[in-house]
Amino acid sequence: MIFTVKTNEKIAKDVYRMTLVGDTSKIISPGGFVELELPGLYLRRPISVCDVTADTLTLIYKVVGVGTDAMCKYENGVELDVLTGLGNGFNVDADTKNPLLVGGGVGVPPLYMLCKRLIENGASPSVILGFNTKDDVFYKEEFEALGVKVTVTTADGSFGTKGFVTDALDAHTYDYTYACGPLPMLKALYERSGVDGEYSFEARMGCGFGACMGCSIPTKNGMKRVCKEGPVFKKEEIVWQI
């Protein structure tokens, strides 16, 4: 599917927001991802979906390697081949009235679309966004504009609450968690939250649509493909690799 880059702007240190215009009809569940074919690079790059409308896809990504470095230079009008509708995504129909959305760094973006869908479903979500330092912080205002309570934590205390996302748990009332972020953050939340939830994982992927077994991880129900049965796994099926 061909998408055309509309905007591509820096929103935090090394973090960019790209909007693309194209057929988004296959993007249904929040927490899913797309695979971008980038000129000159062999493997596609999996990027989580931050938001979607009938014809516009919003991606937020951090420059961490050659692929994302190439992406941040694309300007309005660049055409990219995109595989859409990948991954299982979060379950927006989970039994929860007060879900807590916990994001760390570039784990934050998929929670934005999730937050909107949960609100549409009648839930009252609240949000904790964790970053290393104030230059990394993004999307606090965007979440607040949805009318939800947002706590930002920074590891060095330069913005919001000092510490990790788990240090902000007591400031929220919740009966379920949805989380996306680095593995140590996910594990700390898993151990401290005390409620059921869903955790989004990442892995190096070959194809992104279930063919190569490159991204498989062990779960309590056997090996699962992060790209196909994941990236979102239920708390009870997680086996920690750290």
What is the binding site for other proteins (CB under 8 A)?
Answer: 37, 41-44, 83, 203-207, 209-218, 223, 228, 241
Q: How far is the CB of 42 from other proteins (least distance, A)?
A: 6
Q: How far is the CB of 214 from other proteins (least distance, A)?
A: 4
Q: How far is the CB of 58 from other proteins (least distance, A)?
A: 24
Q: How far is the CB of 217 from other proteins (least distance, A)?
A: 7
Q: What share of the chain is helix, strand, coil (3-state, %, to 5)?
A: 20, 35, 45
Using alpha carbons only, give the angle 96, 99, 100 rounded to the nearest 5 degrees: 160
Structure tokens that stand for 34 in this block: 């797309």
User: Which residue has 């973090």 as its token pair?
Assistant: 15
For residue 231, cis peptide bond before it (omega within 30 degrees of 0):
yes
Q: How far is the CB of 237 from other proteins (least distance, A)?
A: 15
Rounded CA-CA distance 121/104 in Å is 24
Measured from the CB atom, is 118 or 207 closer to other proteins? 207
Return the amino acid letter for 185: M
DSSP 33: E
Measured from the CB atom, is 64 or 145 closer to other proteins? 64
Measured from the CB atom, is 195 or 223 closer to other proteins? 223
Measured from the CB atom, is 111 or 207 closer to other proteins? 207
Secondary structure class of 128 (helix, strand, coil): strand
Structure tokens that stand for 191 in this block: 């151990």
Measured from the CB atom, is 39 or 147 closer to other proteins? 39
Rounded CA-CA distance 31/91 in Å is 9
